[in-house]
Amino acid sequence: MNRGSHDRLDFGPPDDQYRGFDMGEEETARGPLILALAAGVLIVFAAVVWNTYRQGVRDGSGAAPVITADAGPYKRKPDDAGGQPAPNLDTRLYDEMDGTQRGAPEGAQELATAEEILQGGPPLELRPEFDDGPSDPETGMPNALNEEVRRLADLEGRAESAETEVDAGTIDEDALPAPEPAPDAEPEPAFDFDPQGAYLVQIAAFRKMEAAERAWNAALASQEELFRGARQDIQRADLGNRGVFFRLRAGAFGSREAAGEFCSALKESGRDCIVVKG
């Protein structure tokens, strides 16, 4: 291809060019429509507000409305009230509340008011009254009062004589209750137990705590003399693969020799035991 053929080629746009979409032209066409709709909405809103305001405002001087009562009575008492009569309506307390005055019923007694009570009355005569007769020259008291004093003194003397005059021979010694016997003293323990001692006597070992407690109670019941004064001691011992045991021990003793004596007595009775230090 030579130079002349390149000159004949046409690289310009075709005759039928593609017409694109112009956003500016469409927005320009919609602007008047939106403005017209906004104006219509504003006019409708203004009309609604004006109509509401005109209905709420009254024409005239603006004075407050006057409510006129009906010509007839609003309520009236029925001819037949019906229902049941309420009790105690005649109490004067309701008269005070209602402000009505009602006379006291027949046979009623008017109580004195607080002012009348505070005013008081004539003094009361608390002294005994005696006749103005002759008096005793020894005491200076009226004869009636003197006789009353002598009568009371005579009664007191009789009461004292009745209390002092007691016939000892009339008391039946057999009728008296027999004295209660003194309680027997608790026997002493057979061994030298020391609550603060460091030595114990192990009796047995069990898998459960309940079994150890049952064994202790059985030992107390069967050998009361040996275990009198002994203290129960249960030790939990974890022996690893062998499991957990509860060692039942009795004590305590202040020395190994005292614990050995107790253990020897248990062995003689058929029990096994060892002396341990707690």
Q: Model confidence over 108-159: pLDDT tens digits?
A: 666 666 666 666 566 666 665 555 556 665 665 666 666 777 777 776 666 6
DSSP state, residue 135: B
Q: Is residue 229 situated within a structural domain?
A: yes
Q: Is residue 211 situated within a structural domain?
A: yes
Q: Is residue 214 situated within a structural domain?
A: yes
Q: 143 CB contacts (<8 Å, ≥6 apart)?
A: 133, 134, 135, 136
Angle at 141 between CA 140 and CA 145, to 5 degrees: 160
Q: Is residue 109 situated within a structural domain?
A: no
Q: Report, as an integer, the average pLDDT of 165-179.
A: 59
* Residue 67: predicted pLDDT: 83
Q: What is the per-residue pLDDT across 181-200, written as a single tens digit (0 to 9) for each?
A: 666 667 788 888 888 889 99
* Residue 213: predicted pLDDT: 94
Q: What is the per-residue pLDDT across 221-259, written as a single tens digit (0 to 9) for each?
A: 988 888 988 999 999 999 889 899 999 999 889 999 999
Distance (Å, whole) CA 203 – CA 188: 22
Number of separate helices (H) and strands (E) present in the chain? 8, 4
Q: Is residue 77 situated within a structural domain?
A: no
Looking at the 3D structure of the chain, how many domains does it have? 1
Q: Is residue 179 situated within a structural domain?
A: no
Question: Domain of 205?
Answer: 199-277
What's the CATH number where 269 sits? 3.30.70.1070
Q: How many CB atoms lie within 10 A of CB 203?
A: 21
Q: Is residue 267 situated within a structural domain?
A: yes
Q: Is residue 96 situated within a structural domain?
A: no
* Residue 24: predicted pLDDT: 56
* Residue 80: predicted pLDDT: 82
